[in-house]
Amino acid sequence: MDSDTVVSLPHAVEKLVNHGDTIALEGFSHLIPFAAGHEIIRQGITGLTFCRMTPDLLSDMMIAAGCVDRLVCSFFASGSAGSLYEIRRRIESQDPAPLPVEEYSHHAMTLRYHAGAARLPFAPISSFVGSDMPGINPDIRAVVDPYTGKKIHVVPPLNPDVTIIHAQRADRKGNVQIWGIAGVQQEAVYAADKVIVTVEEIVDDEVVRADPNRTLIPAHAVDAVCVVPTGAHPSYVQGSYDRDNAFYREWTPISKDPARLREWIDAHIRTTKDHEEYLDAIGRDRIEALRMAPRPSGSVDYGRRPDASTERSLR
């Protein structure tokens, strides 16, 4: 594949994300694609069914900005640093509007992406035995196991219109390399019709070829690669920058006050031109304080066939 997939993030979102889409923005603990979510807010895209394992600050922001009509998720959390008050207001008191939610476990969400990626009709799961989850989610159903005759729960496939992830690096063709916690990014990408990957940097083809096992997402699965350094802030990127824990703690009082929440979104997202202006608004000194010191991993030897002259000399 020789095509160049690198475009700007505003262009990728404008071209590939439509009103009313089902979108997945995945990244587990680190590599959360905040910059892409912010760009969706800037472009005023609405009516989304938003899929994410651990709906967190990004979910709170996008719901408060009016982008999301339905949430498909597992395990609500704010980085263990507080509560997500916009989501709580929507669910607990329908303020300012109700938010339909489909809740699963992490394992069930992973199986849903896996079934979607494999184009399977459903995925069996045994961990809902004794759980209240099937009672609150009618899409968690039970079927008869054709091998044992016993009943087993199943979950439906999840096939987003668009999946967006963040990664450390890619080449211009769209071969994406990830290290650290890999999460469910690979399954979510293969399950989707269209894929946007934001990355910290673009590297030469030779860099990717030198370490092929780190290529979790191959070029044929990617529609657009966007260079967005620090695009996962306030989450972290293994090897690049730490999580902005202070930001996570600050989010609770911001989220708790609806007027303050919307002022924050206006000041830091809607009135900023792009992610670089967002980082200016957050504070460059604050961002620089999160930078990690280098700690390269050891190298491995993939080996290669000796050339003909070497083979002759060995005989």
pLDDT in tens, 268-308: 999 999 999 999 999 999 999 999 999 999 889 999 898 76
For residue range 163-202, list pLDDT tens digits in order. 999 999 999 999 999 999 999 999 999 999 999 999 999 9
For β-strands 101-104 and 68-74, DSSP reports them as: parallel
Residue 175 near residue 207, CB atoms below 8 Å: no
Which has the closest alpha carbon to 224: 168, 166, 150, 178?
Answer: 166
For the residues 3-21, what does the mean pLDDT come to?
97
Res 124 pLDDT > 60: yes
